[in-house]
Amino acid sequence: MSVTFPARTVRRAAAAAVTAALLVPLAACGNDDDSESKKDGGGKDVSLTVLAASSLTDVFATAEKAYEKEHPGTRITVSAAGSQELAAQVKQGAPADVLVTADTKTMDGLKGETGKPTVIAKNRLVIATREGNPNKVKGLEDLGDSKLKVVLADDAVPVGRYSKQVLDKAGVDVKPVSKEANVRSVLSKVELGEADAGIVYRTDAATAPGKVDAVDIPDGRNAVASYPAATLKGSGNGEAAAAFVKWLSTPEAQKILRDAGFQKP
């Protein structure tokens, strides 16, 4: 049995079909525009590699989480080592986005590789001793005792240069049992009992409560370490890297640094 539709109904169906056909390409164009808009608007996930001085290991672990929470879609990977090692990596073209050293000298030596650096924090030295300070170390002069096993960082490392500076100023001659590649290695030697004492940053000693004691060095005899941060020109994420460096000077980031014992820039 055949069915005959009214002419008006047929015309309406035809018009609807034509309208639908016209809307399909428009909808497709709209989706493409939305996709491009999201891409251009920074919706794309970003992974940043931050080369950081060893003394920033713990505090940057906290900063990393805070930044990722505040900036969804951005993932931070911190690679910590002695500043001189980081500088060598940068010169060799290692893929990274941000550099933070424990001194301005190392950063200044990389002017052709970085953006303009910003000092984000400062630090001071202390004498780390084994828990309970069994050798009764009271100050720099005690480190000259030949019976005391003292470990220092190598002179090529910022903390090693700072240590030499304060010891020379105090007129103390130290014969270290070893010279380490970074400040965390110095701290580890004292923690493990392989050394009686060593010179580290105040913030490093604070990461080992119950394992080492810290003997203060008076400000007048101490050295001030500055921590500059800068983007790396070889970064493929320049805008995101600059945003992270800028964030390090914000109240939130500065509070994280202060809580860890770092001083204001």
d(CA 47, CA 207): 28
Choose among 211, 90, 217: nearest CA to 141: 217
Q: What are phi and psi of 122, to 5 degrees?
A: -135, 165
Angle between helix axes 238-247 and 57-70 (nearest 10 degrees) is: 110
d(CA 229, CA 240): 14
Let me know: does 212 contact 129? Beta carbons within 8 Å. Answer: yes
Here the tokens at position 259 are: 């809580």
Q: What is the pLDDT along the chain (265 residues), one digit of tens a residue?
A: 433 434 444 344 444 443 344 334 433 344 443 333 333 334 579 999 999 999 999 999 999 999 999 999 999 999 999 999 999 999 999 999 999 999 999 999 999 999 999 999 999 999 999 999 999 999 999 999 999 999 999 999 999 999 999 999 999 999 999 999 999 999 999 999 999 999 999 999 999 999 999 999 999 999 999 999 999 999 999 999 999 999 999 999 999 999 999 999 9
Residues forming a β-bridge with 14? none
d(CA 144, CA 176): 9
Residues forming a β-bridge with 47? 75
Let me know: does 213 contact 131? Beta carbons within 8 Å. Answer: yes
Domains along the chain with CATH numbers: 46-122+226-259 (3.40.190.10), 123-224 (3.40.190.10)
pTM, 2 dp: 0.82
The DSSP line for 190-225 is HHTTS-SEEEEEHHHHHTSTTTEEEEE--GGG--EE
Torsion angle of C-alpha atoms 184, 190, 194, 196, degrees rounded to 10: 140
d(CA 115, CA 240): 13
Residues forming a β-bridge with 225? 123
| Maximal C-alpha separation, the chain | 115
